[in-house]
Structure 1
Amino acid sequence: MKIKQYRTQFIKELAPFYDAYEAESFFYLILEDKYKLRQIDLALNHELTFNEDDFVIWNGLLKQLKNEVPIQYLLGKTSFYGLDFEVNENVLIPRPETEELVEWIINENAAVSKSKKIKILDIGTGSGCIAVSLAKNLPNAAVYAIDVSKKAIETAKRNAANNNVEVVFMLKNILELEILKSDYDIIVSNPPYVRNLEKQEIKKNVLDYEPHLALFVEDDDALVFYRQIASLGQKNLSDNGKLYFEINQYLGKETVDLLENMNFKEVEIRKDIYDNDRMVSCRI
Structure 2
Amino acid sequence: MTFKDYRSHFIQTLMPLYDEGEAERFFYITLQELKGWRRVDFALNTGYLLADTELSKWNEVCAQLQQQKPIQYIFGHTWFYGLQFKVNEHTLIPRPETEELADWIIVENAAGSSIVDIGTGSGCIAITLAKNIEGSEVSAMDISTGAIEVATANAAANGVSIQFILQDVLALSELPRKYDVIVSNPPYVRNLEKEEIKPNVLEFEPHTALFVEDTDPLIFYRKIAQLAKEGLNPGGKLYFEINQYLGPETVELLKSLGFVTVELRKDMFGNDRMIKAVL
Q: What range describes the TM-score normalised by the shorter chain of this pair?
A: over 0.9
Matched, 1:92 2:92: yes
* Aligned mate of 2:264, from 254, 269, 273: 269
SS of alignment partner, residue 103 of structure 1: helix
Deviations 1:92-125 (A, max 9, x none): 000010000001001111xx21xxx210000000
Residue in 2 that maps onto 1:37: 37
Q: Read off the aligned partner of 2:128 and give its amino acid letter.
A: S
Q: Read off the aligned partner of 2:40 and give its amino acid letter.
A: I
Deviations 1:179-220 (A, max 9, x none): 012100000000000000110111111000000000000001
Measured after TM superposition, the shift of residue 3 of structure 1 is: 1.2
Q: How does 1:218-229 map to 2 (within 5 A)?
A: 218-229=213-224
Say what the alpha-carbon RMSD is for the aligned residues. Answer: 0.7
State how far apart, in whole Å, the 2-side matches of 1:45 and 1:78 are: 26
Matched, 1:173 2:168: yes
Q: How does 1:10-29 map to 2 (within 5 A)?
A: 10-29=10-29
Matched, 1:212 2:207: yes
Matched, 1:152 2:147: yes
Residue in 1 that maps onto 2:105: 105
**Which runs of no fewer than 5 residues in structure 2 stay unpaired?**
none
- Asked if structure 1 preserves the Cα contact closer than 8 Å seen for 2:85 and 2:124, the reply is yes
State how far apart, in whole Å, the 2-side matches of 1:261 and 1:42 are: 57
Q: Read off the aligned partner of 1:42 and give its amino acid letter.
A: F
State how far apart, in whole Å, the 2-side matches of 1:97 and 1:46 are: 35
| TM-score for the superposition, normalised by structure 1 | 0.97
State how far apart, in whole Å, the 1-side matches of 2:191 and 2:244 are: 14
Q: How does 1:190-201 map to 2 (within 5 A)?
A: 190-201=185-196
Measured after TM superposition, the shift of residue 266 of structure 1 is: 1.2
Residue in 2 that maps onto 1:123: 118
* Aligned mate of 1:237, from 195, 207, 232: 232
Residue in 2 that maps onto 1:3: 3
State how far apart, in whole Å, the 1-side matches of 2:79 and 2:203 are: 22
SS of alignment partner, residue 215 of structure 2: helix
Deviations 1:257-280 (A, max 9, x none): 000001112100000011000000
| TM-score for the superposition, normalised by structure 2 | 0.99
SS of alignment partner, residue 219 of structure 1: coil
Structure 1 runs (4+) deviating above 2 angstroms are: none
Q: Read off the aligned partner of 2:221 and give its amino acid letter.
A: Y
State how far apart, in whole Å, the 1-side matches of 2:45 and 2:55 are: 19
State how far apart, in whole Å, the 1-side matches of 2:49 and 2:21 are: 23
Q: How many residues align?
A: 279
Deviations 1:113-157 (A, max 9, x none): 1xxx21000000000000000001000100000000000000001
Measured after TM superposition, the shift of residue 45 of structure 1 is: 2.2
Which range is displaced more, 99-108 or 52-61? 52-61
Deviations 1:144-171 (A, max 9, x none): 0000000000000111111111111110
Which range is displaced more, 44-53 or 266-275? 44-53
SS of alignment partner, residue 125 of structure 1: coil
SS of alignment partner, residue 84 of structure 1: strand
State how far apart, in whole Å, the 2-side matches of 1:104 and 1:182 are: 23
SS of alignment partner, residue 64 of structure 2: helix
Q: Read off the aligned partner of 2:223 and give its amino acid letter.
A: Q
Percent sequence identity is 55
Measured after TM superposition, the shift of residue 64 of structure 1 is: 1.0
